[in-house]
């Protein structure tokens, strides 16, 4: 299942720079993951300082 960014996101951007397919972008209030592009690699979750990306 694709990753999704929870409301604990602090918009630091560390996840977006680690995504190999560019599935993560800045949303209105926090970063978001395009689930149709996500390859479930887990890079975003591994670098997030607050654990916001979770696999659903």
For the chain, which residues make up each domain, given as ranges?
A: 3-55
Q: How many helices (H) and strands (E) does the chain have?
A: 2, 4
pLDDT digits (tens, 9 = 90+) for 5-29: 999 999 999 999 999 999 999 999 9
Q: How many CA atoms lie within 13 A of 50 on its CB side?
A: 13
pLDDT digits (tens, 9 = 90+) for 27-40: 999 999 999 999 99
- Say what the pTM is: 0.92
Give the CATH number of domain 3-55: 3.30.70.20
């Amino acid at each position: 299942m694709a990753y999704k960014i929870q409301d604990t996101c602090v918009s630091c951007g560390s996840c977006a720079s680690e995504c190999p397919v560019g599935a993560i972008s800045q949303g209105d209030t926090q970063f978001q993951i395009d689930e149709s592009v996500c390859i479930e690699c887990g890079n975003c979750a591994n670098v997030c300082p607050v654990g916001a990306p979770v696999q659903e």
